[in-house]
Chains A and B, each alone.
Chain A
Amino acid sequence: MSLHYTFPPAAGYPLNRCLYRIKSDDAFRERYLADPDTTLKEAGLDPERIAALRTLDRDRLLALGAHAYLVFMAGLRLKMATAPQTFERF
């Protein structure tokens, strides 16, 4: 059985760093939403990784070394930024 949460390979670091910043760095997330391609290119991602992240293609992102939780929460934070009315608050 393969695990749900696995060791993030070093080759995936730039991708994981972008996902982490979309999740937790408000300024980076805003920059990404305004100009995704430039923001990700400046953060060191190649076109393949930029395409995977922009489409939030989970299987592809995981194959490129992304951590499953970071994919999940980066996607959630992007949805919260673009469709905030769909989320409940406590």
Chain B
Amino acid sequence: MLRVHDAYAGIKRGLAAARPDIICIIGGDHIEGFFLTSVPALAVYVGSTVSGKFDRYRYTFDVHEPLARALLEQSIERGFDLTYSQDLALDYAFYVPLHFAMPEPRVPIVPLYVNVYLPPQPTPARCYAWGETLRAILDARPERVALLASGGLSHFPGSDRYNSPDFDWDRQMLDRLIAGRGRETAALTGEELDKAGNVEFRTWITLLGAVGDAKARVVCYEPSWHHGNAVVTWPIA
């Protein structure tokens, strides 16, 4: 776990050096912000601030409303009928990586949601296509934007496989990403992801749509008794 913390520290330094104006973070809600009252496939938070809590941990982030709104409006114009919210509890999939990686001084965020835990989830192909669209929208923006994805890798919370993640699946996938073959993830099926304990990999697939054929740099991959933990960057020009 300390090696994962070190990897996060490297991400934090890299983000500070890249001087982003905004961090867009793609995450999978763990039935925290969205309960069964409404289950969006893809969503964006368009408020001024967003907060989340777990036990003694409390987080609040400024949200970059102009970019959040642009991503909402332009995604819809390009055929992605997003849900939006101005009042959601932020899930730990968002604030845990930001706890470790948010540079100083802090920058505003835009939370982007992919449904991972409540079937039927969006297909990998759809996630990848939304990622391509996000990239096209972001490329036309004046701000410097960092794009993060949070989720996975293999784990099975609540199932009888909790203590046996599919580390082989993770390693084979990371090898593909190192080779710049992220595009292939669009052809995965929802059943394959569930079987591998990787329903949350949809957030990665969305990001892969945005980075295209860029080759991944795997900063670390650390299996634990219940979870495959990876920290990965994609240097893009």
Contacts and interface: CB of A to CB of B under 8 A. Distances in A.
Interface of A: 1, 3-8, 13, 16-17, 20, 23-24, 58, 67-73, 80, 89-90
Instruction: State the main secondary structure of chain B at its contact with A.
Output: loop
A69 B31 contact: yes
A40 B40 CA distance: 28
B220 to A, nearest CB: 16
A72 B30 CA distance: 11
Interface residues of B, number: 25
Interface string B148-179: 00000000111101100000000000000000
A20 B191 contact: no
A1 B191 contact: yes
Nearest to B37: A17
Given A68-B159, A69-B157, A4 B197 contact: yes
A58 B158 CA distance: 8
A57 B31 CA distance: 20
B36 A4 contact: no
Interface string B132-157: 00000000000000000000000011
A24 B119 CA distance: 21
Contacts of A80: 55
B72 interface: no
B191 A3 contact: yes
B82 interface: no
Given A72-B158, A73-B158, 20 more contacts: A1-B191, A3-B195, A4-B156, A4-B158, A4-B161, A4-B194, A4-B195, A5-B118, A7-B120, A8-B36, A8-B118, A16-B36, A17-B35, A68-B158, A68-B159, A70-B31, A72-B162, A73-B30, A89-B56, A90-B99
